[in-house]
Amino acid sequence: MMIITAVLMISTTISLTLVVLSTLIGKTILISREKLTPFECGFDPSKKARTPFSLRFFMITILFLIFDVELVLMLPLGLLMEHSNPFLILCAGMVLIHLICLGLLHEWNQGALAWAT
């Protein structure tokens, strides 16, 4: 118990010493109003917060999330091969792959993937 207490006190002392030294020795940062504002998603914070964005960008993002979730459903199939019937796991994997491909073809046919139109 004494060893744990000693290690805890030494690590706390070193941490506090480094914080105090960095505060005293470090360069002072000029605090400006621009630096205190949040920076989000590449939008310039000096403009209004409700700037419109591309609906196509939003649709591509939603499609990516849908396909990403479908791929996450396929990840455990490899681990299940040794605990279950491999034929059923293979069939389930093929059904998921066909669903992903059909969804991709449908979105391509509807023009959701055409960015520069």
CATH C-level class of 2-110: mainly alpha
Residue with tokens 């605990």: 83
Whether pTM exceeds 0.75: no
Q: Using H for helix, E for strand and C for coil, what is the string for the chain?
A: CHHHHHHHHHHHHHHHHHHHHHHHHCCCCCCCHHHHCCCCCCCCCCCCCCCCCCHHHHHHHHHHHHHHHHHHHHCCHHHHCCCCCHHHHHHHHHHHHHHHHHHHHHHHHHCCCCCCC
- List pLDDT tens digits, range 68-92: 888 888 888 888 878 888 888 888 8
* 11 phi, psi to nearest 5 deg: -65, -35
pLDDT (0 to 100) of residue 111: 80
Domain-wise residue ranges, the chain: 2-110
- 104 C-beta neighbours (distance < 10 Å), count: 14
pLDDT (0 to 100) of residue 88: 87
- List pLDDT tens digits, range 34-48: 666 666 665 555 656
How sure is the predictor about 15, in pLDDT bands with cuts at 50, 70 and 90?
A: very high
